[in-house]
Amino acid sequence: MQIQQSLAPQYRLLVFLVSIGFFMQGLDTTIINTALPAMAQSLEINPLQMHSVVISYVLAVAAFIPLSGWLADRFGIRHVYIAAIVIFSCSSLGCALSNNLNQLIGFRILQGVGGALLMPVGRLALLKLIPREQFLAAMSMMSLAGLIGPLIGPSLGGWLVQYTTWHWIFLINIPMGILGVFVSFKAMPNLRELKVKTFDFSGFILLMLAMVGLALGIEQIAVPNSSLSFSLTLFLVGGLASLYYVYHAHTHKNALFRSKLFKHQIYRIGVLGNFFIRLGSNAIPFLVPLMLQIAFHMEPLMAGIMMTPMVLGSLFSKPIIRPMIQKIGYRTFLIANSLLLGLCIASFALTAADTPFWLRTLHFFIFGILNSLQFVSMNTLTLKDLPQQDASSGNSFLSMIMMLSMSIGVALAGTLLNIFNGIFDGHETALAFQLAFVSLGFLNILSTWIFWKLPKNQMI
């Protein structure tokens, strides 16, 4: 209520509109994880092969984020925002009507394109249309919608699967999309830039090749009927495209992300930390609901409810982040928290079907705290010292890296799970999950070395 009072009435409908998009994307990112086993059964697919449904969406979001700002400047904020909602909603309908895995993956990619435009363009609309003194209130209201999506997503997904069918996890996007389109015409003017620089399509293609090659190269390793040489080829293409983009960023005057951006030491360390630390932690919301349902035979609704303590832990951590960093500094905080987070990820291997409810809840709650502490502190550190002229580009690149890390993290988790499950011929599924958790936790602990390079005097 306080947020609404501090926000001028003429901006409330606009913030509500942007919140719809933020909520849709936040919900869609989390609601699907609980539904994967039911979807696999319906499509007659091994549930341990369903990680491609998650990867295709997140990878599409990562790939198309760099295009969002240019499209909004070129064609107008309202036109692009409406297009994003329409793409997202129509592809959601396509997902619900899919009859096989390939169709579902295709529509998930389209859904990711819509999702890639929703949040950045909505945030841009607030930035351009709302006065600076009102901006914090607007962002706070929008962030609330972003928290509600992940909070209810797993439980709602479990409920829909258990009492209806998995198709409804996509169909619920349609009424929200229709509402968003109608509100857009009333609340969002079609602001556009008079002069728009030429878009760096060659750099955009290189980045897409790099992201798709690296993520799918890992994902294809454990896919049946896929050769190791094909996976290595994909990985090689991704690596070469990444290297060539480094050259491109240094020589192309309109490059999406110029090489000078990475001359800032703190930003460079922050980006590396965001990428590697997130590989393990981003895989947890994918792995845990699968483990609870496949290995421990938990009902979908209860599996979804069990994810709620993670979100509550994230909310609990918000007030304590700043005082902790002020007391010990970024370097010490990030080293310590990265180690604790890695140990917490590995400790999911200790959970079993008969683990007491209270202990499992506490475990997930602690993970939510550590995960949120890590993400907020890394993001703040990465962007805090960037010069004004590099802030927009730096933020876009960081957003892309975060989504890329999520896609590669889920791909890595799915690959590890299938490799370990194959070693035991499918007879020790719970052990396969446990070994995957230990591997991801160890990777997180190894990544701690990145923050050793931070100066010791980095404070808020």
Q: What is the CATH number of the domain that holds 429?
A: 1.20.1250.20
pLDDT, residue 69, reads 82
- Based on the fold, state whether residues 284 and 314 are members of the same structural domain: yes
State how far the Cα of 126 lies from the Cα of 136, in Å rounded to an integer.
10
One domain for residues 127 and 39: yes
Query: Is a pLDDT exceeding 50 seen at residue 5?
Result: no
Residue 264 pLDDT exceeds 60: yes
pLDDT surpassing 60 at residue 445: yes
Q: Which of 157, 179, 197 is the last residue of a domain?
A: 197
- What's the confidence (pLDDT) of residue 228? 80
- Note whether 228 and 266 are same-domain residues: no
Q: How far apart are alpha carbons 84 and 88 in whole angstroms?
A: 6
C-alpha 413/C-alpha 260 separation (Å) is 34
Mean of pLDDT values over 167-177: 92
How many residues in the chain? 460
Looking at the 3D structure of the chain, how many domains does it have?
3
Smallest CA-to-CA distance from 453 within 257, 276, 324 is with 276
pLDDT of residue 83: 94
85 CB burial (10 A radius; 0-12, 13-18, 19+): buried
Cα distance between residue 72 and residue 75, in whole Å: 6
Q: Which of 51-55, 69-73, 190-194 has the lowest mean pLDDT?
A: 190-194
Examine the domain organization and report whether 393 and 280 are in the same domain.
yes
The amino acid sitting at 437 is F
What average pLDDT does range 31-44 have in this prediction? 89
| pLDDT for position 458 | 62
Confidence of residue 240 (pLDDT cuts 50, 70, 90): very high
The proportion of the chain whose per-residue pLDDT surpasses 70, expressed as a percent, equals: 96
Is the predicted pLDDT of residue 24 greater than 90, yes or no? no
Residues 287 and 434 in one domain: yes
Q: How many CA atoms lie within 13 A of 408 on its CB side?
A: 23
pLDDT recorded at residue 437: 96
Separation between Cα atoms, residue 131 and residue 47, nearest integer Å: 49
Please determine, for residue 3, whether its predicted confidence score (pLDDT) is greater than 60.
no
SS (H, E, C) the chain: CHHHHHCCHHHHHHHHHHHHHHHHHHHHHHHHHHHHHHHHHHHCCCHHHCHHHHHHHHHHHHHHHHHHHHHHHHHCHHHHHHHHHHHHHHHHHHHHCCCCHHHHHHHHHHHHHHHHHHHHHHHHHHHHHCCHHHHHHHHHHHHHHHHHHHHHHHHHHHHHHHHCCCCHHHHCHHHHHHHHHHHHHHHCCCCCCCCCCCCCHHHHHHHHHHHHHHHHHHHHHHCCCCCHHHHHHHHHHHHHHHHHHHHHHHHCCCCCCCHHHHHCHHHHHHHHHHHHHHHHHCCHHHHHHHHHHHHCCCCHHHHHHCCHHHHHHHHHHHHHHHHHHHHHHHHHHHHHHHHHHHHHHHHHHHCCCCCCHHHHHHHHHHHHHHHHHHHHHHHHHHHHCCCHHHHHHHHHHHHHHHHHHHHHHHHHHHHHHHHHHHHCCCCCHHHHHHHHHHHHHHHHHHHHHHHHHCCCCCCC
Q: Is the pLDDT of residue 426 over 70?
A: no
Of the residues 239, 255, 271, the one at which a domain ends: 255
Summarize pLDDT for 376-422 with one digit per residue, the tens. 888 888 877 777 677 777 878 888 898 899 999 999 999 999 889 88
Please tell me the predicted confidence (pLDDT) of residue 455. Answer: 82
pLDDT band at residue 2 under the 50/70/90 scheme: very low
Can you say whether residue 44 is alpha, beta or left, with left for phi > 0 and alpha for psi between -120 and 50 degrees?
left
Last residue of a domain, one of 197, 231, 246: 197
The pLDDT, as a whole number, for residue 339 is: 95
Among 96-105, 184-193, 239-248, 326-335, whose mean pLDDT is lowest? 184-193
Residues 308 and 346 both lie in one domain: yes
Q: Residue 302: count other Cβ atoms within 10 Å of its Cβ.
A: 16
Whether 184 and 217 share a structural domain: no
pLDDT for res 29: 81
Global pTM reads 0.87
Give the per-residue pLDDT at 343: 96
Average pLDDT over residues 362-371: 94
| Tokens of residue 389, six digits | 């002229």
Torsion sign (Cα): 222, 363, 443, 238: positive
| Distance of alpha carbon 182 from alpha carbon 351, whole angstroms | 47
Q: How far, CA to CA in Å, does 436 sit from each of 289, 339, 420, 443?
A: 14, 18, 8, 11
What domain range is 27 assigned to?
1-197
* One domain for residues 240 and 91: no
Do 384 and 422 reside in the same domain of the chain?
A: yes
Given a cut of 60, whether residue 274 has pLDDT beyond it is yes
Task: Please tell me which residue, 343 or 15, carries the higher pLDDT value.
Answer: 343
Asked if residues 212 and 131 have their Cβ atoms less than 8 Å apart, the reply is no
- The pLDDT score that the predictor gives to residue 4 is 41
Distance CA 409, CA 395 (A): 21
- The average pLDDT across 261-272 equals 88
Residues 280 and 246 in one domain: no
Average pLDDT value over all residues in the chain: 87
Q: Are residues 303 and 404 in the same domain?
A: yes
How far is residue 406's CA from residue 412's CA, in Å, rounded to a whole number?
10
* 459 has a pLDDT exceeding 90: no
Same-domain check for residues 354 and 244: no
The answer to whether residue 155 scores a pLDDT higher than 70 is yes
Residue of 128, 143, 140, 13 lying closest to 69 (CA atoms): 128
Q: pLDDT digits over 176-193, tens only?
A: 999 999 999 888 888 787
